[in-house]
A and B are shown apart, each in its own frame.
Chain A
Amino acid sequence: MSKIGVFICWCGSNISETVDIEKTKAALEGLPALDYIEDYQYLCSEIGQKKIADAIKNKNLSGVVVASCSPRMHEDTFRNAAEDAGLNPYLLEIANIREHCSWVHSNKEKATEKSVALIRAAINKVKHNQPLTPGSIPVNKRALVIGGGIAGIQSAIDIAEAGYQVDIVERTPSIGGKMAQIDKTFPTLDCSACILTPKMVEASRHENIKLHTYSEVARVDGYVGNFDVEIKKKPRSIDEDKCTGCGICLEKCPGKAPSEFEEGLNERNAIYTPFPQAVPNIPTIDRDNCIKFEKDKCGLCARVCPTDAINFNQEENIIEEKYGIIITATGYQLTDPDQFGEYHYNNPDVITGMEFERIINAAGPTGGKLQRPSNSEKPDRVVFVQCVGSRDKARGHSHCSKICCMYTAKQAMLIREKYPETEVYVFYIDIRTAGKGFEEFQRRAQEDYGVNYVKGMVGKVFPGKDKLRVEAIDAMTGEFLELDSDLVILSPAAIPDQKAGDVSRQLGISQGASGFFTEAHPKLKPVETQTAGIFLAGACQGPKDIPETVAQASGAAAKAIGILSKDSLVNNPCVAEVNQADCSSCFSCKEVCPYSAIEKDETEKHGMVARVNEALCQGCGACTVTCRSSTINLKGFSNKEILSEVDAICL
């Protein structure tokens, strides 16, 4: 005979304001299974939890229903309290009378009626609940970091320092990411490369870190603690063990292609290292632009290589590895301004903020001289255009790209510092400088460096014979402005990396409206994803500046270390089970299982029947519906349990 206790939480007044607690109690009393009922202001508090524990012990309860907030909020809290009191935690159910009732309804009478129905359903379910014991799954003490920008590097270093093996998979030939391209960082005006390259070197030299550059993740299977990953190593056409990074091949190569690192502002060779400080310092042959691969001629690099490291026949290599956790640090990219025709991005003197970073960089294509890309002359007037595609619901993205206001202030400052005679205009919708020292920095640009900030959007850029005519409205005065300008610098929206969609599908993590990966909880779980063991670091989760990226990367690493430091993890006990005596051996279940958790089991008694591998089963329940003899059930969500909830609700 089951003895069930019901505990109703007021949640301060969050519940009790809309749900009449006394009436609810009165409506429930007299239910045959109900043995004990109590209400309290805050059940999640220590006192509240103690009330539940005491009742379990003193009243010898066989099941508990807590009517409170969503089980996604406090199910664990209450189940732990039940376990401490000696009750199997899976004999406790939550009736969600806050998120699904008091917070969405205003009619007290109807809300009370509904909360009674929800509690009744939970009581009915708990009557059929079985005590469940979680199994344990071993943890592979190795981490995978996808993306070798500053986020990936920081996560990898933190995990490696804690003593665990880390592999970084980077798509391009070098780690470093976007930060390597940036000239100076705001608000301190540090040289970006100077603070990044030591970290790149640290990552490459660390005994616990292994770099897979020019590689991509091809396949991900498994689950937390036991991810099976295939990494596709693209052919570099260089024998990495033989190459010394001397660079003679780079000088001789006649093949040319636009340099990705220099944002296409100048050319690189077909055999190239993306930038001088690249890690690893091993060249890559870009087969699409190499004369040897196009026409089977040349091969100059192979002839000049002193260590015979060039290998034109190198093939794609698949590496298989097991990991305990995965950190996604795939970063961002800038949206293509070509889709905003009014800015005439096809004109060479209309550039993006990232192109400007390369132009102003001493190691960049112009040697750090500010020049118009069209004629290499110094510009007299520069116009910055903010929010190109950001905060633009109609044509672009509704989100704010967050970093543009600050990097524009920085870039404007750099121009005015080097070329005080050059006029600088910034057209903006709003200036957003929430960050430590950010407001002061932007004010300095405006007040000390004399950058002209104009509130208003640029309507059109007209390329003239020599100058670019910029038309805009000053939103403060309503005045129509026409500026003849030499250089226009756009701030395109920051959007997720082009491969974010593929990564999301491979890992089974979700993307929000703008395509950035969704965190498990916007406030309390900012680095976790909904998939256990997969974490987020950096701008793949949303636009971020460098300090925020580093902070999140270390946060993700801490979460990862939390898992890697355990020898085994507790398994979800709500898995499928087969009643082998009734199995008709059709194996339809095997077909639908996404985790290959169902095996054919040769038994003495029942012949060849289905069996569930509990370590692999994730508890989705697809098999339970497909089972022709209805002999598979899902523990914790059995047919009986769900049907009894239906019955209680429809009562």
Chain B
Amino acid sequence: MPVKEKMNKQIDKNNFEPLLVAFCCNWCSYAGADLAGTSRMGYPENIKIIRVPCSCRINPGFVLRAFQKGADGVLIAGCHPGDCHYMTGNYYTRRRFTVFKELLNYMGIEKERFKVDWISASEGKKFADTATEFTSKLKELGPDRKLRDSRWK
């Protein structure tokens, strides 16, 4: 649902369609999502993927921006620790976002709205399952209202 509508309308919780923004690393998780596609493993339409070279490219600012602009949840997916295409990138991801999650929590954004997961190029099923589970979790939580101020025109 477009954000403007979301802002103006009283959201019907039962028909709420959350927006889930995913950042996937090019080498593992984006390829894992491709594999889910080639294997025709269905999952909800709510997830929209942005490709980045490595999960360590993802700036916490990108996540905040997504929440500010209307995302109800953000997923970061990278190679499993030890399997990073760039050797150590996902270790930085792990450290940065462990801290960042606390910050989100402190800001009042439910910690279930943000997730870092490791999905390899061969884990199409894991990608589909993660997308499905995350979406239904967000449906339970309802729309994210915490950062809506920044959406006011």
Give residues in A with beta carbon < 8 Å to B. Answer: 70-73, 96, 98-101, 103-107, 110-111, 113-114, 117-118, 121, 505, 508, 510, 512-513, 518, 530-531, 574, 592, 594-595, 618-622, 624-626, 634, 637, 639, 642-643, 645-647, 649-651
Contact = CB atoms under 8 A, between A and B. Distances in A.
B37 A103 contact: yes
24 contacts: A72-B34, A100-B34, A103-B37, A103-B38, A104-B36, A104-B128, A114-B45, A121-B48, A508-B84, A508-B85, A513-B122, A518-B121, A620-B57, A622-B57, A622-B92, A626-B92, A639-B59, A639-B62, A642-B50, A643-B61, A646-B62, A649-B19, A649-B21, A650-B19
Contacts of B11: none
A624 B37 CA distance: 31
A104 B41 contact: yes
Contacts, number: 146
List the 3 closest A-B pairs by CB distance, nearest first: A99-B37, A621-B57, A650-B69
Given A105-B45, A106-B42, A625 B37 contact: no
A622 B52 contact: no
Interface in B83-97: 83-89, 92, 96
Interface string B36-74: 111011110100111111101111111001100111000
Contacts of A110: 45
A504 to B, nearest CB: 9
A90 to B, nearest CB: 14
A626 B48 CA distance: 26
B59 A646 contact: no
Nearest to A520: B121
A100 B48 CA distance: 8
B30 interface: yes
A100 B128 CA distance: 10
B83 to A, nearest CB: 5
A626 B99 CA distance: 14
Contacts of B38: 99, 103
B109 interface: no
Given A96-B49, A625-B56, A646-B65, A70 B37 contact: yes
B134 interface: no
Nearest to B63: A646
Given A70-B37, A530-B27, A624 B57 contact: yes
A118 B121 CA distance: 21
Interface string B104-131: 0000000000000000111000001000
Contacts of B92: 592, 622, 625-626
Contact of B50 (A105, A111, A645): A645
Nearest to B52: A637
A70 B45 CA distance: 17
Nearest to A574: B53
B96 A625 contact: yes
Residue with the highest number of chain B CB atoms closer than 10 Å, among A73, A531, A625: A625
A646 B69 contact: yes
A625 B45 contact: no
A491 to B, nearest CB: 26
Contacts of B59: 624-625, 639, 642
Contacts of B45: 101, 105, 107, 110-111, 113-114
Contacts of B21: 646, 649-650
Given A530-B85, A625-B58, A103 B53 contact: no
B57 A634 contact: yes
Nearest to A102: B37
B86 A650 contact: no
Contacts of A594: 86-89
Nearest to B45: A110
Given A622-B92, A650-B3, 5 more contacts: A72-B34, A104-B128, A530-B27, A594-B89, A642-B52
B58 A622 contact: no
Contacts of A98: 37
Contacts of A71: 51
B88 A643 contact: no
Contact of A642 (B49, B62, B71): B62
B31 interface: yes
A345 to B, nearest CB: 32
B57 A651 contact: no
A315 to B, nearest CB: 30
Contacts of A106: 42
Contacts of B37: 70, 98-100, 103-104
Given A620-B89, A625-B57, A647 B96 contact: no
B23 to A, nearest CB: 8
Contacts of B84: 508
Contacts of A505: 82
B69 A620 contact: no
Nearest to A110: B45
A65 to B, nearest CB: 14
B40 A619 contact: no
A584 to B, nearest CB: 17
A587 to B, nearest CB: 16
B33 interface: yes
A637 B53 contact: yes
A644 B13 CA distance: 29
Residue with the highest number of chain B CB atoms closer than 10 Å, among A624, A639, A645: A645
B85 A72 contact: no
A227 to B, nearest CB: 14
A646 B41 CA distance: 25
A619 B61 CA distance: 19
A70 B58 contact: no
Contacts of B65: 643, 646-647
A103 B122 contact: no
A651 to B, nearest CB: 7
A628 to B, nearest CB: 12
A589 to B, nearest CB: 12
Given A621-B57, A626-B92, A649-B50, A105 B85 contact: no
Given A100-B37, A105-B42, A634 B53 contact: yes
B48 A114 contact: yes
A621 B30 contact: no
Contacts of A103: 37-38, 40
Given A624-B57, A624-B59, A625-B92, A510 B83 contact: yes
A346 to B, nearest CB: 35
Nearest to A576: B57
Contacts of A634: 53, 57
Contacts of A512: 122
A519 to B, nearest CB: 11
Nearest to A634: B57
Contacts of B53: 574, 619-621, 634, 637
Given A594-B87, A620-B54, A99 B3 contact: no
Interface in B1-45: 2-3, 19, 21, 26-27, 30-31, 33-34, 36-38, 40-43, 45
